């Protein structure tokens, strides 16, 4: 997959493309269904499969009350879309100027003029353009004039017999509640945090007998405070681990941290970029009466993580 950052990088207009537009935050099963439809349609017409996304998320620019944290940072989103068989991913910088582009301008100048669109795959509730005027009905109204097909896939249900659909909002709620195991069936993979191992408070090994890596997060959705069984990708390989998210109430630090202890691993990770897959929640964060009591609980957490992760890879 070729990634194109900015429309100005397209020097020669595309031809015969099948397009999907979206924020694709999470690249969940619903997004995957749209992207697979794009791939299949492009193959059928001997065309190019093209996905368009935005950075930053438009809500960060347009949202009056802030924006939700990202399920997938841009780096991971590009990787996941690349695994879907898409030929070109166009990442458009989103700012107030681009927000002023009307649905007509987006359709005629970008989708038709630059991309030579012959078909578009779009979710039934997706909107684009100034004041969100672009939608399925808008595209269908202009499809005959411009000679393109509008494809609206069915929503992917949360459960086979259910009516609720897989959505970024639902996944965000699940993760914020700490129910990370419930997110996997909707994402098609474990929920992942990415970050760099930074300086910690030098007490995991010294006081508790359990050295930890302090993860400095990017702009990501963080699960509810508590202790989790995790899988961690490092430069040295993939390892099982225990993650603690919270404020270390036993020590009254009041500092939010994400700390990970890797099982059967004793190499320094400082400065490394790591990826933490959240498999299952073990317990709530709790204040203990002493470091010794906390140390005993950590040993129990490690035993639980071993059990949970015994058949995970």
Give the domain ranges of the chain: 2-151, 191-308
Q: Is the pLDDT of residue 191 over 80?
A: yes
Nearest 5°: the CA angle 23, 95, 13 is: 70
How far is 222 from 176, CA to CA, in rounded Å? 7
Total residues found in the chain within this entry = 313
Phi and psi at 2, nearest 5°, equal: -100, 130
Asked if the domains at 2-151 and 191-308 fall in one CATH topology, the answer is: no
The residues, any chain, with a CB within 8 Å of residue 155's CB and separated by 6 or more, are 30, 123, 124, 165, 166
92-124 confidence digits (pLDDT tens): 999 999 999 999 999 999 999 999 999 999 999
Report the share of the chain in percent with pLDDT over 70. 92
Q: Is the pLDDT of residue 250 over 60?
A: no
Higher-confidence residue of 34 and 313: namely 34
Q: Quick one: pLDDT band at residue 249, thresholds 50, 70, 90? A: low
Structure tokens at 209: 């007998």
Structure tokens at 253: 């630090």
Q: Quick one: pLDDT band at residue 253, thresholds 50, 70, 90? A: low
Structure tokens at 287: 């204040």
Higher-confidence residue of 226 and 293: namely 226
Q: How far apart are the first and last CA of the chain?
A: 27
Q: Quick one: pLDDT band at residue 6, thresholds 50, 70, 90? A: very high
- Asked if residues 180 and 191 have their Cβ atoms less than 8 Å apart, the reply is yes
Mean pLDDT of the chain: 89
pLDDT score of 83: 96
pTM: 0.90
pLDDT score of 17: 97
Distance from the Cα of residue 188 to its chain's centroid: 11
35-84 confidence digits (pLDDT tens): 999 999 999 999 999 999 999 888 888 876 667 788 999 999 999 999 99
pLDDT score of 252: 61
- The beta-strand segments (E) located in 268-308 are 273-283
The residues, any chain, with a CB within 8 Å of residue 130's CB and separated by 6 or more, are 99, 100, 101, 102, 103
pLDDT score of 210: 65
Closest CA to 88 of 23, 209, 178, 7: 7
Higher-confidence residue of 80 and 313: namely 80
How far is 113 from 182, CA to CA, in rounded Å? 42
DSSP code at position 165:
B
Q: Is the pLDDT of residue 206 over 70?
A: no
How far is 203 from 208, CA to CA, in rounded Å? 7
DSSP code at position 131:
G
Q: Which CATH class is domain 2-151?
A: alpha beta
Q: Is the pLDDT of residue 166 over 70?
A: yes
Q: Is the pLDDT of residue 246 over 80?
A: yes
- Asked if residues 13 and 114 have their Cβ atoms less than 8 Å apart, the reply is yes
Topology of domain 191-308, per CATH? Elongation Factor Tu (Ef-tu); domain 3 (2.40.30)
Q: Quick one: pLDDT band at residue 204, thresholds 50, 70, 90? A: very low
Element (H, E) at 168: helix 168-176
Q: Is the pLDDT of residue 178 over 90?
A: yes
Structure tokens at 182: 């419930």
How far is 30 from 185, CA to CA, in rounded Å? 11
pLDDT score of 254: 66
């Amino acid at each position: 997959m070729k990634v194109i950052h900015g429309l100005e990088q397209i020097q020669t207009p595309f031809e015969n493309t099948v397009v999907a537009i979206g924020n694709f935050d999470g690249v969940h099963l619903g997004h995957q269904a749209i992207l697979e439809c794009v791939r299949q349609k492009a193959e059928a017409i001997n065309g190019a499969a093209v996905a368009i996304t935005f950075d930053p998320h438009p809500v960060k620019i347009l949202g009056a009350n802030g924006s939700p944290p990202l399920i997938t940072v841009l780096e991971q989103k590009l990787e996941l879309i690349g695994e879907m068989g898409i030929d070109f991913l166009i990442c458009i910088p989103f700012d107030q100027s681009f927000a002023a582009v009307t649905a007509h301008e987006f359709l005629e100048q970008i989708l038709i003029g630059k991309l030579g669109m012959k078909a578009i795959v779009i979710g039934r509730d997706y909107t684009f353009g100034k004041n969100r005027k672009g939608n399925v009905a808008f595209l269908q109204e202009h499809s005959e004039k411009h000679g393109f097909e509008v494809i609206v896939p069915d929503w992917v249900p949360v459960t086979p017999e259910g009516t609720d659909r897989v959505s970024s909002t639902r996944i965000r709620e699940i993760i914020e509640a700490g129910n990370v195991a419930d997110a996997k069936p909707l994402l098609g993979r474990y929920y992942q945090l990415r970050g760099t191992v930074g300086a910690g408070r030098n007490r995991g090994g010294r006081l508790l007998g359990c050295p930890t890596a302090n993860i400095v997060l990017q702009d990501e959705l963080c699960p509810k405070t508590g202790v989790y069984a995790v899988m961690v990708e490092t430069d040295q390989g993939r390892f099982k681990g225990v993650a603690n998210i919270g404020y270390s109430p036993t020590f009254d630090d009041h500092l939010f941290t994400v700390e990970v202890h890797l099982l059967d691993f004793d190499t320094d990770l400082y400065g490394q970029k790591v990826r933490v897959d959240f498999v299952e929640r073990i317990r709530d964060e709790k204040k203990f009466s002493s470091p010794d009591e906390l140390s005993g609980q950590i040993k129990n957490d490690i035993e639980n993580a071993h059990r949970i992760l015994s058949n995970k890879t």
